[in-house]
Amino acid sequence: MFMSRLTVVAYTFGILCFLASCAFSVFYGYKVVSHDLPAEDQTGEKYNYHFVLVPEELDNDYWRLVEEGAKKAAEEHGVLLEYAGPRQANIDEHLKTIEMSMASKVDGIITQGLSDEQFTPLINRVVEKLPVITIDTDAANSDRMAYIGTDNYYSGFLAGKALIEDTNGQANVAIITGNYYANHQQQRVQGFRDAVESEEGITIITVEESEISRVRAAEKTYQILTDYPEVDAFYGTSALDAIGIAQVVDKFRKQNQVYIIGFDSLPETLKYISKGTIQATVVQEPYEMGYRSVTMMIDLIEGKKVSPVVHTDTRIMRAADLLKRKEDEWEAGR
């Protein structure tokens, strides 16, 4: 009798352990597949809306700024904002996160329209159920309700004009771009091409892809300098490209022979500008994009009029501008 009771207890304990481990793996498995996208708010707090921001790459410093802006607006307007997406840029995972966000019945999705081929059909499907705002990169041919971000063609054009000015119209340029397939990267390259087209002294020697990775950008730079010794200028079209280029140029002590223009004003880019390795960068406004994407989404849901295309500011920054900014900050802090 005693033995059989012990057996029952042992069995029950075993079954409980089994169930607990099943629950753990289901939960854990869900977390992995969903890129940490909780099914619903479990904090018990009440929110007005629930939005998801899907970036190209979670831990990218540029996207962390977009997240910061979005979180600030979310806080101010009682919005539960989730930041979910691929840990490293990956188009399939990106699309999957959008699908899963739609399935988990959020109130709105904010994401890039990276490519017409893959993003437009999905965005059109999502928009039948809930609002989608594109951010940073537009899928202009989709049914997305609005776009907020840089005018990517214009920003590339600006880069081209800056390069002409800084090199006196004499340069053999290598372009390192984030991805060949991404709309905004194509536009940044096209804008640049159009700006330098009529300059006889400027030739575009090659266009390579970094897959938005700094390490890849560095590898490609090394390869370009080996394969095309005539290259004396680089144009990096996504946030980490110029940093990768600068690392190699610095390492081989070619600072005075190679001109670099990049994108964004992340701390490392600014460091290389101060040092004189990077000569110029196209500044975007990721924080503002994030912030305004949330307020625009609220306006859309509440039936207010929202402009379908909102371009945030873009401008060129060089060492002199950086110095001026530091002086202004110092003045303001006195």
Q: Does 245 bind ligand BGC (CB under 6 A)?
A: no
- Residue selected from 67, 82, 136, 151 as contacting ligand BGC according to rule CB under 6 A: 136
- Residue selected from 238, 265, 269, 279 as contacting ligand BGC according to rule CB under 6 A: 238
**CB 73, min distance to ligand BGC, A:** 19
Distance separating alpha carbons of residues 213 and 187, to the nearest angstrom: 19
- Residue selected from 73, 176, 225, 240 as contacting ligand BGC according to rule CB under 6 A: 240
Q: Does 62 bind ligand BGC (CB under 6 A)?
A: yes
The site that binds ligand BGC (CB under 6 A) totals a number of residues, namely 13
- Give CA angle at 205 (200, 208), nearest 5°: 140
Q: Count of CB atoms within 10 A of residue 326's CB?
A: 12
Give the residue with the Cβ less far from ligand BGC, 151 or 264: 264
Q: Does 137 bind ligand BGC (CB under 6 A)?
A: yes
Q: Does 231 bind ligand BGC (CB under 6 A)?
A: no
Q: Does 246 bind ligand BGC (CB under 6 A)?
A: no
Residue with tokens 């049914």: 143
Q: Does 212 bind ligand BGC (CB under 6 A)?
A: yes
**CB 125, min distance to ligand BGC, A:** 23
Report DSSP letters for 251-263, one per residue: HTT-TTT-EEEEE
Q: Does 264 bind ligand BGC (CB under 6 A)?
A: yes
Contact 133, 296 (CB under 8 A): yes
Q: Describe the strand order of the beta sheet including 79-83 as a list of residue ranges.
A: 79-83, 49-54, 108-111, 132-135, 146-149, 309-311
> What part of residues 29-58 is at the interface with ligand BGC (CB under 6 A)?
56
Q: Does 244 bind ligand BGC (CB under 6 A)?
A: no
Two structure tokens written together for 134? 């594109």
DSSP H helices in the chain: 2-33, 61-76, 91-103, 116-127, 152-167, 183-196, 214-227, 241-251, 267-275, 286-301, 319-333
**CB 88, min distance to ligand BGC, A:** 11
Cβ within 8 Å of residue 293, ≥6 positions away: 53, 69, 70, 73, 110, 133, 135, 148
Q: Count of CB atoms within 10 A of residue 200's CB?
A: 8
Binding mask 81-120 for ligand BGC (x = CB under 6 A): ----------------------------------------
**CB 58, min distance to ligand BGC, A:** 11
Binding mask 271-300 for ligand BGC (x = CB under 6 A): ------------------------------
Q: What is the Cβ-side half-sphere exposure of residue 85, based on CA atoms within 13 angstroms?
A: 25
Distance separating alpha carbons of residues 202 and 118, to the nearest angstrom: 35
Q: Does 69 bind ligand BGC (CB under 6 A)?
A: no
> What part of residues 168-187 is at the interface with ligand BGC (CB under 6 A)?
178, 184
Contact 291, 72 (CB under 8 A): yes
Contact 162, 140 (CB under 8 A): no
Q: Does 209 bind ligand BGC (CB under 6 A)?
A: no
Pairing of strands 315-318, 280-283: antiparallel
- Residue selected from 65, 84, 106, 239 as contacting ligand BGC according to rule CB under 6 A: 239
Give the residue with the Cβ less far from ligand BGC, 178 or 191: 178
State the residues that interact with ligand BGC by CB under 6 A: 56, 60, 62, 136-137, 178, 184, 212, 238-240, 263-264
